[in-house]
Structure 1
Amino acid sequence: MTVVFVTGCNMNSSAVSSDSQEEKVITIGYQKNGPLVILKSLGTLDERMESLGYSVEWKEFQAGPLLVEALNAGSIDFGRTGNTPPIFAQAADTPFTYVGVGFSKYEGSGILVPNDSDIKELKDLKNKTVGFSKGSSSHYLIVKALEKAGLHYTDIEPAFLTPGDARVAFEQGTIDAMAVWDPFTASTELHSDGKLLVSGEGLTTDRDFFVATIDFAENHPDMVDIILEEIENSSDWANSHHEELVDMLSPILNIDEASIEKSVKRRVYGIEEITEEIINEQQEIADVFYQLEIIPKELDVKEVMLEK
């Protein structure tokens, strides 16, 4: 009996067929600004899967929320997002599970202000307009930063903007500050007269999370393990080949090499175990978003963590 991964089906991304001639396809969702684009570019997973009689179909997504929607629809088996899209996926009852987690990349996440801004510390954000992507890791970062300064979310004027739109508004002076992640942080520092008011240190870990449909994770754990192994291998390569990594990512992201270099030098690629501490990090995000009425119900994130 041959396992056939069928893409684009309702809810379930894989099925079993007795036809040994059927092609076996694993569909992976990725974003340009993430570790899976490195894996895709290196081609090592494709080669390994081909040796096992499988092929890999790569689907690009502009944002994490769109990727988890595809996970919900069953049009991908596996993907990577930031720390907030899985919260929304769970709130929407998406049949998925966390299967892996990356190292914290808090250094490249933060709140930026113009170099000549009168905003010198977090408390100065009161009554200011801050641009960030709604429901993103930056949204959570803003909430935690305000909390640290003794302010409330209602003390600022939020401007819900994509990183690109926030950059334009920042340069035009229509927002006072913006919260974003690398390489947009680095590019703003280098080219838009911006400086970090604070990084994510002590506020958010801003991790990569690797997710899969429940069907794929439960029925094909060997495939999940292989994918994670190859992510780890490609991460090792990325950490030890910064020059080649910059050459790879700059044209893909259409961002200058100096910004990419600054970004990759202040993060570590790789996978670590999902610990109780990491589960608690995700639980806090879920709790904060529920309190802010960003998600409609309370969540227990342990319910969607893969049990080994």
Structure 2
Amino acid sequence: MRRRDFLSALVLTTSAGALTACASAPSGNEPVPVPDRVGPEELRRVRLRVGDQKGNSQSLLRSAGLDRAPYAIEWSTFTSGPPLLEAVSADAVDAGGVGNTPPLFAAAAKRDVKAISVSRGNVTSDALVVRKDSPLQRVEDLRGKKIAVARGSSAHGQILLNLRKIGMSPDDVQLVILQPADALGAFNSGDVDAWAIWDPYFSQVRLETGARVLTDGTGIANGYDFLIAGTAALADPARNTALADFAVRLAKAQVFSDRHRPERARAWAQDTGLPIEVTTPATEAGPNLPIPLDAEVIRSSQQLADAFVQAKEIPRPFRFADYVDTRFQPQLAAFH
């Protein structure tokens, strides 16, 4: 889905008076009843709409040979997690994978979404980079400087935590809110002093510009990625059944990608047009692996959410646990 198509659809739906599909489902912070599963014949008629970032999940499934499901998958590409979750909440997309921070901003905005599975990856590619000739050498040197970041992205969380580590806050720097494509231009032209980014953008900017890492998520970030579903999809028997299968396929593909990294890198390059020189280091840095969606994940996510509230980057406190749905954990337990 091109972003303008989603926005047009959202405007049309809102002008009609309500997001009808969402209105029939519980609001985001209420439990969603688990509907009965549908049979194979009805499942074949399902069209599961999945949001993706830079071909991430799509190429992951394809490289593992798991892209042919017993239902249709309609892929939509987004530049980062926050707009993806807007689409999920609006029932324009059924589910999608995002980093550790977008679900927090969605929860603060009371979006109709639930985290249904989680994986953990490396935190070294969740980095803050500067140009290779930049005079900046330490995080402390960022005081008063301009940092490009996508609001509500995992990179936003990485900035917050790295600043807190040295006793600084977002008020001590100038956050320039940009999506990756615009941020790259601003970074290359010198309009910003640093860029908070993640893979594959991280590997791409290092390859193309020789960007230097100022700091990353080591020792501060939890490395979580979440599969997020809309409450409307979870309440619908057919889509809920497809989501159960999709979550398992994704977990299987993550395990496969760890054992077959060259295949993963090739599929990622083919699906996105990125050079293999970008997808190879992004893959070798360490793929995400499924972990239980348990109390520790909720605790760590709540801790990050509270840090955003304290920094006044998120306007209100909330319980992250209210935006978690563990219904698929029994099927996923075999991959943890």
Instruction: Give the one of 186, 192, 197 matched to 1:180.
Output: 197
Instruction: Give the one of 147, 154, 158 matched to 1:137.
Output: 154
Instruction: Decide whether aligned partners of structure 1 residues 128 and 179 sit closer, same or farther in structure 2, where only a CA change above 3 A counts.
Output: same
| Match in the other structure for 1:30 | 51
Paired residues for 1:207-226 under 5 Å: 207-217=224-234, 220=237, 222-226=241-245
Instruction: Decide whether aligned partners of structure 1 residues 44 and 256 sit closer, same or farther in structure 2, where only a CA change above 3 A counts.
Output: closer
1:34 to partner: Cα distance:
5.9
Instruction: Give the one of 52, 63, 87 matched to 2:80.
Output: 63
TM-score, scaled relative to structure 2: 0.77
Provide, for residues 145-190 of structure 1, a one-character-per-residue CA deviation record: whole Å limited to 9, x for no partner. Answer: 1111222222212222222222222222222211111111112222
CA distance in 2, matches of 1:218, 1:281: 27
1:44 to partner: Cα distance:
5.1
Work out which structure has the larger RCO, using CA pairs closer than 8 Å and 6 or more positions apart in sequence.
2
Letter in 2 for 1:38: S
1:215 to partner: Cα distance:
4.6
CA distance in 2, matches of 1:45, 1:246: 16
Letter in 2 for 1:37: Q
| Match in the other structure for 1:194 | 211
TM-score, scaled relative to structure 1: 0.84
1:247 to partner: Cα distance:
2.0
| Match in the other structure for 1:102 | 119
Provide, for residues 234-269 of structure 1, a one-character-per-residue CA deviation record: whole Å limited to 9, x for no partner. Answer: 223322222222222124333221121111100223
Other structure's SS at 1:102 match: strand
Residue 88 in 1 paired to residue 88 in 2? no
CA distance in 1, matches of 2:148, 2:86: 25
Letter in 2 for 1:178: W
Instruction: Give the one of 305, 317, 323 matched to 1:304.
Output: 323
Residue 10 in 1 paired to residue 11 in 2? no
1:301 to partner: Cα distance:
0.4
Instruction: Decide whether aligned partners of structure 1 residues 184 and 46 sit closer, same or farther in structure 2, where only a CA change above 3 A counts.
Output: closer
Other structure's SS at 2:105 match: helix
Letter in 1 for 2:92: S
Contact 1:101 / 1:207 at 8 angstroms: preserved in 2? yes
CA distance in 2, matches of 1:15, 1:284: 32
| Match in the other structure for 2:96 | 79
CA distance in 2, matches of 1:21, 1:199: 46
Identity of counterpart residues, as a percentage? Answer: 25
Contact 1:135 / 1:294 at 8 angstroms: preserved in 2? no
Instruction: Decide whether aligned partners of structure 1 residues 197 and 39 sit closer, same or farther in structure 2, where only a CA change above 3 A counts.
Output: closer
Instruction: Decide whether aligned partners of structure 1 residues 61 and 126 sit closer, same or farther in structure 2, where only a CA change above 3 A counts.
Output: closer
Instruction: Give the one of 268, 291, 316 matched to 1:272.
Output: 291
| Match in the other structure for 1:5 | none
| Match in the other structure for 2:259 | 240
Greater shift in the superposed pair: 174-183 or 284-293? 284-293
Paired residues for 1:139-158 under 5 Å: 139-158=156-175
Instruction: Give the one of 103, 115, 118 matched to 2:135.
Output: 118
Other structure's SS at 1:56 match: strand
Greater shift in the superposed pair: 32-41 or 115-124? 32-41
Residue 294 in 1 paired to residue 313 in 2? yes
Contact 1:82 / 1:209 at 8 angstroms: preserved in 2? yes
CA distance in 2, matches of 1:31, 1:293: 29
For structure 2, list consecutive stretches of 5 or more residues without a partner in the other structure. 1-18, 26-33, 328-336
Greater shift in the superposed pair: 142-151 or 223-232? 223-232
Instruction: Decide whether aligned partners of structure 1 residues 172 and 21 sit closer, same or farther in structure 2, where only a CA change above 3 A counts.
Output: closer
CA distance in 2, matches of 1:136, 1:161: 11
Instruction: Give the one of 271, 281, 286 matched to 1:262.
Output: 281
| Match in the other structure for 1:227 | 246
| Match in the other structure for 2:10 | none
| Match in the other structure for 2:145 | 128
Greater shift in the superposed pair: 30-39 or 249-258? 30-39
Provide, for residues 179-222 of structure 1, a one-character-per-residue CA deviation record: whole Å limited to 9, x for no partner. Answer: 11111111222221211111211122342201223354366565
1:136 to partner: Cα distance:
1.5
CA distance in 2, matches of 1:233, 1:15: 24
Other structure's SS at 2:115 match: strand
For structure 1, list consecutive stretches of 5 or more residues without a partner in the other structure. 1-7
Contact 1:110 / 1:200 at 8 angstroms: preserved in 2? yes
1:64 to partner: Cα distance:
2.0
